Copies of this chain bind each other. A is one copy, B any other.
């Protein structure tokens, strides 16, 4: 195979950082991976990693090649009227998945989380720190973390049924119809009666 022989430019450095990040997250988990450790692996200065990606959270989102940053979308949704976020949250979640490629690293991560304890820990730590933490903080109720995990259970199941196992008719109905059906579930988990 011929190689170009050019030294890596901006996109080469960026890709080297992302490769290093994928290795660091896979080997150390979300909690223990650091910007400094990723920089060391990539052979660049930590300031450069900060320059390109800002935070560990954004680096992770870039490393798994999500088309949008779900944490930033989540924050925007959480800013709205708390009684209206169920459907918005489901719609946002579906749009991330509808736009993810069939062989996306997101799908790969979910797949490996199911088969591999270390990948499961990575996913669990990211969800706990970056998704459940902010939701619990926003809700402020004593059972906020349980509520957040119930939301997570419905969303991950939706991804499994619609995008991975592809059970019909759920796999083919329009996203808006799914959001209308599942939105009230998420709304109740967030702000409704949990044990009537």
Using CB atoms and an 8 Å cutoff, list the residues of chain A in contact with chain B: 110-115, 120, 123-124, 127-128, 132, 145-146, 149-150, 152-158, 160-162, 164-170, 173, 177, 180-182, 184-185, 188-189, 194-196
A-B contact pairs, 18 of them (CB 8 A): A110-B114, A114-B115, A115-B115, A124-B166, A127-B165, A128-B167, A128-B168, A132-B167, A145-B168, A149-B167, A149-B169, A152-B157, A153-B182, A180-B194, A180-B196, A181-B195, A184-B196, A185-B189
Given contacts A165-B123, A195-B177, contact A153 B146 (CB under 8 A): no
Taking a contact as CB atoms closer than 8 A, the residue among B124, B156, B167 that contacts A157 in the complex is B156
Count the copies.
Answer: 2
Q: Considering the complex, give the chain B residue whose CB is closest to the CB of A161.
A: B153
Tell me how far the C-beta of A55 lies from the nearest C-beta in chain B, rounded to whole angstroms: 22
The 6 closest A-B pairs by CB, nearest first: A157-B157, A149-B170, A153-B161, A180-B195, A114-B114, A153-B157
- For the residues of A in contact with B, the DSSP-based class is helix
- Told that A111-B115, A114-B114, A120-B165 touch, could you supply 6 new A-B pairs with CB distance under 8 A? A120-B166, A149-B167, A153-B157, A153-B161, A155-B157, A156-B157
| Cβ–Cβ contact B124 & A160, under 8 A | no
A119 nearest CB neighbor, chain B only: B165
B152 engages A156 (CB within 8 Å):
no
